Amino acid sequence: MKLKLFFLLSLIICIHTHAQSYIFGTITAEEGHEITDVNVINIRTDEMVVSNSDGHFMISGRVGDELRFVKAGHERLNKKVSEIDIQSPMEVSLARMTIQIPEVEVKQGLTGNLKIDSKSYNKPKKVEKLIADIDRYLIKKTDPRILAAKPGEFVQPKGEGFVIGSVKNKWDDIDLMNYVKASLGESYFTDLKIEKPQIDHFIFYVLAGGFERKKILKYGYCSDADLYRFQRFVLTRISSYRAPQTQR
């Protein structure tokens, strides 16, 4: 009887030790405000969740698991789950990523006057001659008889102007792909089990899946909100990308 009781007690302790728990937590920035749309990944199980609008997250795990926190524009953070993290909410703080802008050397101050500033640079003689010819041409007054219609020619009546065609976009999909990859970092995609040689292909796959980007391409500007929208769209496309070609 004692042997059976000892065996049952040992089994309960073993089950309790290896039981799966849930880790709750709050993610904040250095300034103290909550951060939304942070990818929280359990390295052991490959499970991934996203923090809500209050910066809260819940993910399954146990003591000793390593959680990875990934957010565009912030330093990536890895944190091991302790016994305290199981008993009470985990507090996570993400630091903003420092972007260093290369220095631009200005040899001398510019006045804003093209003729004055151009004298500060050594121009080839052909360029100097061309500038001089243009100046002489602009000084001359055009005889209005040159522009007058000849007898029998059709004259276009005057009226309000109009625009033909659409304005050319400042970006194309390749520009957007390069920006997304640089902003999110390769580690964001490798954490999603996308191999480095396949990152460009995967981004184009997401864009081709219906990601709205007309304004981004038109103005050549991708905001933080657009990046968050791209990350949410990735979560809807990652499963079909991993599926066999015949199932896509």
Query: Which pLDDT score, from 0 to 100, does residue 217 have?
Result: 94
Higher-scoring residue by pLDDT: 92, 103: 92
**pLDDT (0 to 100) of residue 12:** 46
For residue 73, name the pLDDT band (cuts at 50, 70, 90): confident
Please name each of the domains of the chain with its CATH number. 16-94 (2.60.40.10), 173-238 (no CATH)
Overall residue count recorded for the chain in this entry: 248
**Which pair of tokens denotes residue 187?**
């580690």
More confident residue, 93 or 109: 93
Calpha distance 248→240 (Å, rounded): 6
Nearest-angstrom CA–CA distance, 47 and 163: 53
Which pLDDT value is given to residue 140? Answer: 63
Please name which of 139, 207, 141 lies closest in space to residue 173, comparing C-alpha atoms.
207
- Give pLDDT tens digits for 126-163: 767 777 777 776 666 656 665 566 666 655 555 554 44
Cα torsion 55, 60, 62, 65 to 10°: value is: -70
Q: Can you give 72-127 as a three-state secondary structure string?
A: CCECCEEEECCHHHHHCCEEEEECECCCCCCCCCCCCCCCCCHHHHHCCCCCCHHH
Confidence band for 3, pLDDT divided at 50, 70 and 90: very low
- At residue 200, does pLDDT exceed 70? yes
Percent of the chain at pLDDT exceeding 90: 48
Mean pLDDT of the chain: 78
What is the tens place of the pLDDT at every residue in 158-190?
A: 555 444 445 588 999 999 999 999 999 999 999
209: its two tokens: 């899946």
